[in-house]
Amino acid sequence: MSDGLHECKNAMLALEGSTVELPVWEGTEGERGIDITQLRGKTSHITLDSGFANTGSCVSKITFIDGEKGVLRYRGIPIEQLAEHSTFLETAWLLIYGELPMREQLKKFSKTVAETSLINESLHYHFEGFPRTAHPMPMISAMINAMGCYQPALYASEGADFDIAAARLIAKVSTISAFAHKKTVGEPFRYPHPGLDYASNLLHMMFSVPYRRYNAKPEVARALDRILILHADHEQNCSTSTVRMVGSSRANLYASVSAGVCALWGPLHGGANMAVIDMLEQIAGSGLTTRDFIDRVKDKSSHTRLMGFGHRVYKNFDPRAKILKEQCDAVLQALGANQRILEIAIELEEAALNDEYFIERNLYPNVDFYSGIILKAIGIPVNMFTVIFAIGRMPGWIAHWREMSHDAAARINRPRQIYAGSPLRDYTPLKMR
């Protein structure tokens, strides 16, 4: 087993008159898992766990979450410290390589990202194959796969080839994302500016036009950088598990993260902050007061949902939400934003935080609530919200692909099933049907 694990005891499974002994492993934070790797071989039985909610698919050293206590750490470092003191690129290095970079390492990495942010000119023509009405996410997935054709040694998980691939992916995903946005709004592509920090450069490519360059306010660039940090990894979620699943076949890094983009595109995964804005716009258009909407949420017969509150993993509070609330306040103040839906968001937050119905149920604002408000205030279109999520998640996907590739015990992922279809039956010839 991996370093950091130790066998604490054995579990005894009573099955059909016999007892099977299964090892129990404990991680560095006290998490325990029953090792069922030999279960089918010893008993001819498998476990059934729809959605894998109780299944540990791997041993990982990247991210730790304690949903009950509202804890999120990257490589052991609390997310609060990273959001306060780090940058997205420094956090990316930490996730991928396991330690905070030394000064020269970070300088070299940042320089590589800046210098490789251009995409090959021939790739520009790929965008012509998409209609303007296309969602940016499938464009990005396709472009990442296409980018893989331009780099040899795609299968390296260590050394210079991997380092270049990792830096290029982080660099170029922001460029192709901005280009996808320009495609949908019918504006010319704006090339990356190597003199800008990562977040400012992304905003420049999205919002600059030939006759006017967009200069991001420091509060806006910092807020976007923090959004990227807070989304950089989140353990074995759907898209990260997809990257690992695809990578387990020894698919290259580009193909694996391209699949992760597709998984993230699903509305139950990466679209939560879009749902927040949809909800706010519906309230604004309905003429309802915030109090009226809250009352509808509390009335189960109305089937009205409060989006952006509560979290499947965090049973108390989302630690990322606390960080983004401060950024939300700073951005709204810096931009002087007074849009009605932003006013509704603030009213909704205050009402829910002071209502016993939501307090008793631990329905606090989550990261999607505040990130949606910030992105809306910045002027990022709703169809680009999930794209920003994908840009932020790229270091985590890379880190998990690399970790899986280094695991000597890893095998191609192949879940089992319990068949519940028709029993054995004979073929009926067509003339007899």
Residue 9 has a pLDDT of: 79
Residue 318 has a pLDDT of: 86
Sheet holding 6-15: strands in order across?
Answer: 6-15, 18-26, 32-34
Residue 375 has a pLDDT of: 92
CA distance 242 to 47: 21
Q: Residue-wise pLDDT tens for the chain (433 aa)?
A: 566 777 877 898 888 888 999 999 999 998 899 999 889 988 999 999 998 989 999 999 999 999 889 899 999 999 999 999 999 999 999 999 999 999 999 999 999 999 999 999 889 889 999 999 999 999 999 999 998 888 765 666 777 888 988 999 999 999 999 999 999 999 999 999 989 999 999 999 999 999 999 999 999 999 999 999 999 999 999 999 999 999 999 999 999 999 999 999 988 888 888 888 888 888 888 888 888 888 898 888 888 888 888 887 887 788 998 898 888 888 888 888 666 777 888 888 888 788 888 888 888 888 888 898 899 899 999 999 999 999 999 999 999 999 999 988 889 999 999 999 999 999 999 999 9
In order of their start, the domains of the chain are 6-56 (2.20.28.60), 79-260+384-404 (1.10.580.10), 272-378 (1.10.230.10)
CA distance 47 to 371: 38
Q: State how far the alpha carbon of 430 is from the alpha carbons of 260, 423, 427, in Å.
A: 43, 20, 9
Residue 153 has a pLDDT of: 59
Q: Say which DSSP state 427 is in.
A: P
Half-sphere exposure of 27 (CA within 13 A, CB side): 17
How long, in residues, is the chain? 433
CA distance 84 to 326: 11
CA distance 433 to 429: 7
Burial 276-299 (b: 16+ CB within 10 A, else e): bbebbeebeeeebebeebbbbbee
Q: What's the pTM value of the predicted model, to 2 decimals? A: 0.93
CA distance 288 to 304: 13
Q: Say which DSSP state 124 is in.
A: G
Q: State how far the alpha carbon of 349 is from the alpha carbons of 111, 321, 342, in Å.
A: 40, 12, 11
User: Are 385 and 375 contacting, i.e. CB atoms less than 8 angstroms apart?
Assistant: yes
CA distance 185 to 205: 13
Structure tokens that stand for 84 in this block = 């306060």
Residue 257 has a pLDDT of: 96
Please name the residues in contact with 392: beta carbons below 8 A apart, sequence gap of 6 or more.
88, 227, 228, 229, 230, 231, 232
Residue 271 has a pLDDT of: 82
Q: Which of 197, 234, 368, 400 is catalytic?
A: 368
Residue 311 appears among annotated catalytic residues: yes
Nearest Cα residue to 177 out of 291, 303, 264, 289? 264
Q: Which of 204, 234, 311, 400 is catalytic?
A: 311
DSSP 153-189: -TT--SHHHHHHHHHHHHHHHHHHHHHHHHHHHT---
DSSP 216-282: --HHHHHHHHHHHHHTS--SS-HHHHHHHHHHTTT--HHHHHHHHHHHHHSTTTTTHHHHHHHHHHH
Residue 426 appears among annotated catalytic residues: no
